[in-house]
């Protein structure tokens, strides 16, 4: 049985956070509000399940007393309900135990997703476009907001590169499992002989950093503006609206030209730069944690082949999973049905974490 004193402490902390967020001095402190807001979101689901679990425990005590009473009819009915409670309790306790595992504080953040065509030429660009479409459908199903940040189209369609943000509940905590190399096996539309080709695209998922997370010194930025290189004839190309930002200390370069407004392009580029700098800072601060995570299914190693989309066999295989859990119907996945895969990955990660506690 889970220690109820620990559960009481969690509920007390949740109430304390709510009280703090309502105070004027906290409401005017963006950094503090952001910190409390993330903790509030992460605890809310836990507190809900704690309530369910504790109600079941209390009900079990009441039913046991009735079952032990001298009245046969009442005792029989109580025993039936008690048996149901006893049957459901282990699952609820397991659910709560998983929720009580230490959370990565970045999971509640929004996500910046970068998809880049890899090996495979034009077919890799087409596949990068398929992945973007897949994630767009998944985001729509989740009720997340998708905003394109920057893109470079392929010569026959798709994308050489596309960067976008996903805003919504647990966006990064869900999408982090997508980081890595995605491989596709199919007959390209450009292939006349009907031969199966293998192509790849790389997905990188970053927690979107807020301004309070990363301070960028304007003096350390080199900002260039130039004319967009998009399709000719569009008004976006008639002014110097495209923006290239170079972060001098790290050499990181971010460009954005999707908007007609130079100001909007600059804001988007800064959001991507801020998240990349935040990722670097996290790796420095949490090198020990990252070393442990490299053995887990949630690893963000961009060089690792994580998934194969096999069109001839109508199958998607996630190489981080084992047995029956690793294969999924391609027609469902390609239409944005990622929940079963991510759920299996999360379960495998949690099982590994529980084995180490």
State the pairing for strand pair 242-247/252-256: antiparallel
Tell the residue number behind the tokens 């010194």, with chain if given.
217
What is the span of the domain harbouring residue 275?
218-285
CA 77 to chain centre: 46
**Structural domain count of the chain:** 3
* Average confidence score pLDDT of the chain: 86
pLDDT for 298 beyond 70: no
Q: Judge if 246 and 126 occupy the same domain.
A: no
**Shared-domain flag, residues 41 and 157:** no
Task: Output the pLDDT for position 299.
Answer: 44
What pLDDT shows up at residue 253?
94
Nearest to 113 by CA among 240, 324, 235, 279: 279
| CATH number of the domain to which 22 belongs | 1.20.58
The tokens 């420095």 sit on which residue? Answer: 284
172 and 311 assigned to the same domain: yes
Q: Are residues 307 and 270 in the same domain?
A: no
DSSP H helical segments within 117-183, as ranges?
Answer: 122-142, 171-175
120 domain residue, yes or no: yes
Sheet holding 221-226, edge to edge: 221-226, 242-247, 252-256
Q: Residue 69, exposed/middle/buried by CB under 10 A (0-12, 13-18, 19+)?
A: exposed
pLDDT in tens, 231-270: 443 444 556 789 999 999 999 999 998 888 899 999 999 9
d(C-alpha 197, C-alpha 194), whole Å: 9
- Kindly tell me the sign of the dihedral angle through the C-alpha atoms of 164, 41, 280, 274: positive
Same domain, 8 and 85: yes
**Is residue 160 domain-shared with residue 304, that is, in the same domain?**
yes
**What count of other Cβ atoms lies within 10 Å of the Cβ of residue 229?**
12
pLDDT digits (tens, 9 = 90+) for 10-29: 999 999 999 999 999 998 98
82-127, pLDDT tens digit by residue?
999 999 999 999 888 888 877 777 888 899 999 999 988 899 999 9
**CATH code (residue 262):** 3.30.160.20
């Amino acid at each position: 049985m889970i220690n109820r004193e620990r559960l009481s402490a969690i509920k007390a902390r949740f109430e304390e956070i709510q009280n703090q967020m309502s105070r004027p001095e906290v409401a005017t402190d963006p950094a503090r509000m952001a910190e409390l807001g993330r903790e509030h979101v992460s605890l809310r689901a836990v507190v809900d399940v704690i309530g369910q679990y504790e109600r079941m425990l209390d009900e079990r005590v009441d039913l046991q007393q009735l079952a032990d009473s001298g009245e046969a009819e009442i005792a029989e009915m109580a025993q039936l309900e008690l048996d149901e409670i006893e049957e459901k309790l282990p699952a609820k306790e397991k659910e709560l135990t998983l929720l009580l595992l230490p959370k990565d504080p970045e999971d509640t953040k929004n996500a910046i997703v970068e998809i880049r065509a890899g090996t495979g030429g034009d077919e890799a660009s087409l596949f990068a476009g398929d992945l973007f479409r897949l994630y767009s459908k998944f985001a729509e199903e989740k009720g997340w907001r998708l905003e394109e940040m920057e893109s470079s189209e392929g010569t026959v369609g798709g994308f050489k590169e596309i960067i976008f943000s996903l805003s919504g509940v647990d966006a990064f905590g869900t999408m982090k499992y997508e980081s890595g190399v995605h491989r596709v096996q199919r007959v390209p539309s450009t292939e006349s002989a009907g031969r199966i080709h293998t192509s790849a695209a790389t997905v990188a998922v970053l927690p979107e950093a807020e301004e309070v997370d990363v301070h960028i010194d304007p003096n350390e930025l080199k900002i260039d503006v130039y004319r967009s290189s998009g399709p000719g004839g569009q008004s976006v190309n008639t002014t110097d609206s495209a923006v290239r930002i170079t972060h001098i200390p790290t050499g990181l370069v971010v460009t954005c030209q999707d908007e007609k407004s130079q100001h909007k392009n600059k804001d988007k580029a800064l959001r991507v730069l801020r998240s990349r700098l935040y990722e670097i800072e996290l790796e420095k601060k949490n090198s020990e944690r990252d070393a442990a995570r490299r053995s887990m299914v949630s690893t963000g190693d961009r060089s690792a082949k994580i998934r194969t989309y096999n069109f001839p066999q109508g199958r998607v295989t996630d190489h981080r999973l084992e047995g029956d859990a690793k294969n999924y119907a391609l027609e469902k996945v390609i239409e944005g049905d990622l929940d079963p895969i991510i759920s299996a990955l999360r379960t495998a990660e949690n099982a590994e974490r529980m084995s180490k506690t």
